Amino acid sequence: MMERRQIVGLWRRGDARVLVTVVRVEGSSYRRPGARLLLGQAGEYAGTISGGCLETEVTRKAAWKVREGAVVERYSTMFDDTADVPYGLGCGGVVDLLLESVETPECAALLSAMERALVGEQSVVVTWFPGEGKPLRRVVLGSGGDLVFASEGLGEKKLACAHGLRPGEEYEGRFVEEMRAPQRLFVLGAGDDARPLVAMALMLGWSVTVADGRAHLVRAERFAAGIDRVVGLDQSGVLALRICADDAVVVMTHSYEQDREMLTALLPIQPRYLGLLGARHRSSLLVSEAAAMAGLSVEECCERIWAPVGLDLGGDGPEAIALAVIAEAQAACMGKLGVSRRLTAADVAKHVSEGGASRYLQTQCAADVAQ
């Protein structure tokens, strides 16, 4: 999400030339479909499409490749002596990149949809790839299915087809994606230990609100630049913040009474992530009392709360705690909590049996410096 903010920023400065999008991946790749790179006039860029190797090649040739219109380029890393591969990444996969000039209505519509998503206006973008004499064509649909943009000359049949396509699924000759709003995080408690948590969430591109009832703490200058809101809480409490089920919330006021009041209000909402700072015995008492006040069972409350908050990463101090909390919140919001990426001996044996090192091109990364 931070990349999207950077891409929109470069575009709005008027210095952009070519937009590059990963639209298909086969095998291994550093980035997944939807990753983007926006190239500027003077060689600067925003976003990434690989671990740094592919950017060098694409930046050098992108303007030349789109001189006659948008194109889809394939970059293969699979070992094949007879294949005409433009570049080797050493990742063991095939990546299809869509390159398009920023000076087209289609690209402007896509970048506008990305910009609107940053302020909460979600949409679906359907792109038909160029090829066989046909140019790139695009449709942008609002969150309610209303037509926001359609390429000139696009027929009713394709417009109707666009409404039936689902983001995230792979289609022949088309790329469908949902422009989602940034993850919202509400940090309830504006103490000093909230500051690194806010900073890390902003690095992820999240939309962050800090709220506290202590007037001397709710000052925006105490937090990292880019924070959305720093607000005071009055008698209406957290309900005035309009927290919903898609949001992430961390309760860290250090006040037992305030935490209990907030939990009681938040439990029925069931935020996507609800973390409670504090020791295990303190959290147990809070959950027990908040459950009774909210009319819920303790079991129901435990299923809705992450307490004690944060992954068990070790370390001490506000920064280490913030890292543990933001890692847990990110995993919970992405549906990945509890999934380990560690290799096992069985994994190694499986991947070696599928081709081993012969799958990878023996090429030096363009970003590497010769030793």
**Whole-structure pTM value:** 0.83
List of domains in the chain:
2-179 (no CATH), 184-333 (3.40.50.720)
Helix (H) / strand (E) containing 261: helix 256-266
Helix (H, G, I), strand (E, B) or coil at 171: strand
Instruction: Give the separation between CA 334 and CA 160, rounded to whole angstroms.
Output: 31
- pLDDT (tens digit per residue) in 59-74: 888 888 999 999 999 8
Beta bridge partners of 124: 141, 178
Q: How confident is the model at residue 338 (pLDDT cuts 50, 70, 90)?
A: confident
Give the pLDDT confidence score for residue 81 in this predicted structure: 44
Helix (H) / strand (E) containing 321: helix 318-333
Residue 184: count of CB within 10 angstroms of its CB: 23
Burial category of 157 from C-beta neighbours within 10 Å (exposed 0-12, middle 13-18, buried 19 and up): exposed
Nearest to 45, CA basis, from 116, 102, 117: 102
- pLDDT (tens digit per residue) in 187-220: 999 999 999 999 999 999 999 999 999 999 999 9
Instruction: Give the separation between CA 335 and CA 168, rounded to whole angstroms.
Output: 15
- pLDDT (tens digit per residue) in 36-46: 999 998 888 89
Give the pLDDT confidence score for residue 251 in this predicted structure: 96
Average pLDDT of span 105-126: 95
Helix (H, G, I), strand (E, B) or coil at 342: coil
- pLDDT (tens digit per residue) in 230-272: 999 987 889 999 999 999 999 999 999 999 999 999 999 999 9
Residue 88: count of CB within 10 angstroms of its CB: 21
Average pLDDT, the chain: 87
- pLDDT (tens digit per residue) in 13-38: 998 999 999 999 887 777 889 999 99
DSSP classification of residue 357: G
